[in-house]
Amino acid sequence: MQAVIGLLVMMLGASYGLETYCDGRQDGAQCFGPLGGTVVLQLMDRASERERYKLYKSSDKTTLILTVINNKIFNNAIKSRSLFNLSDGTFRVNNLSRTDSDEYPFEIRDNKGIKENRALRLTIQAPVSSVRLASECLSQGEKRVSCSSGGGDSPQYSWTLDGRSLTDTELLSVNTETNSITLKQHVSGAVACSVRNNVSRFCAPPTTISDSSTVGKESTVSINPRTNITSWNQTVTPLSEDDPWYITDHSLLVCGVRAAVVVFALIGIAFYFAWKNKDYKKAEGSAYRPEREHQDESVVMVEM
């Protein structure tokens, strides 16, 4: 259920729960409110019973928003989504929309007439909803890190390395169009990106960059098991006795020797049994001949 609600909020682009504060006690104050959220405008320190206050919308004062006389609220054109606090002089406006962006003149009168006349500018901005950080290793060993945000009006991007600002010795270039930076070859550490505008700020989880790291499309390193050749820099590392592929080669040799020994053993056994069989037949023949000679002699003696 929570996932469905979160999805609906993202689809609608709402930012309920976000709140900004603006001190409008100075003429020409620039105020910002989150789209769908709340802005708190500080119009005065507190309402006075001896003064009358009027808040208008638009510079020509065509729309009267708020009227306070003798510490009492007589008119509030947007009372369904706003609240004026007499004790601290703040005007809270909820459920902000794009149409709320405008200039708001504010008048303070006393018994002698207009005591003060000033105006504030309110601008409604969509807050940043998400940030995505991606990085890749370039052909010469430089690292390109890009940052993208979801939603948000007039986003501003900033970068840090291990929690501090990047220096000229670490930064090769900055591309404001693609919101990416290119780091020099020797740079390593945790790179983070934060995106902000006047109503919100969003930070992406840092990504770790090392001298030998390869990330993104360039990061896939394929190793040839025979020569250990890496596809991105074509460096060759000779095989050693500790190399697992080196051990595999010896294993194949041992298997071949063992197979040869088995074959020779089988041949030897075959020759042995053949020889035994021949010797047995020879012995059998020798035993048969004396019996026949004895029989012949018996026959001769009978005839005699």
* Res 218: pLDDT: 37
Instruction: Take residue 56 and report the two structure tokens written for it.
Output: 């208008």
> Is residue 188, in this structure, part of any structural domain at all?
yes
Q: What pLDDT is stored for residue 254 in this prediction? A: 42
In terms of residue numbers, what domain contains 205? 128-219
Q: Which two tokens stand for residue 71?
A: 């510490």
Contact 172, 209 (CB under 8 A): no
Which residues, 6 or more positions from 149, have their beta carbon under 8 angstroms from its beta carbon? 128, 129, 130, 131, 132, 155, 157, 195, 202
Tell me, yes or no, whether 109 and 163 share the same domain. Answer: no
CATH number at residue 33: 2.60.40.10
92 shares a domain with 144: no
Residue 29 lies in a domain: yes
Domain presence at residue 227: no
Q: Domain for residue 37, yes or no?
A: yes
108 by DSSP, 3-state: which? Answer: strand
Question: What is the reported pLDDT for 244?
Answer: 36
The pLDDT of residue 89 = 95
Residue 296 lies in a domain: no
Q: What is the pLDDT of residue 36?
A: 95
Report the pLDDT value the prediction gives residue 106, as an integer from 0 to 100: 97
Q: Comparing C-alpha atoms, which of 145, 143, 142 is closest to residue 133? A: 145
Are 79 and 40 found together in one domain?
Answer: yes
Mark which of 125, 157, 185 sits at the end of a domain: 125
In a domain? residue 243:
no
Residue 236 falls within a domain, yes or no?
Answer: no
Q: Which residues of the chain have pLDDT under 50?
A: 1-15, 213-255, 287-304
Distance, in Å, from the CA atom of 202 to the CA atom of 198, rounded to the nearest integer, reads 12
Residue type, 90: T
Q: In this predicted structure, what is the pLDDT of residue 13?
A: 38
- The pLDDT of residue 116 is 92
State the total domains in the chain: 2
d(CA 42, CA 231): 62
Contact indicator for 103, 120 with CB cutoff of 8 Å: yes
- pLDDT of 263 reads 67
Same domain for 22 and 116, yes or no, is yes
Q: Is residue 176 part of a domain?
A: yes
pLDDT at residue 178 in the model: 87
Q: How far apart are CA 85 and CA 37, in angstroms?
A: 18
Residues 25 and 114 occupy one common structural domain: yes
Q: Which residue, 185, 200, 219, sits at the end of a domain?
A: 219
22 and 69 belong to one structural domain: yes
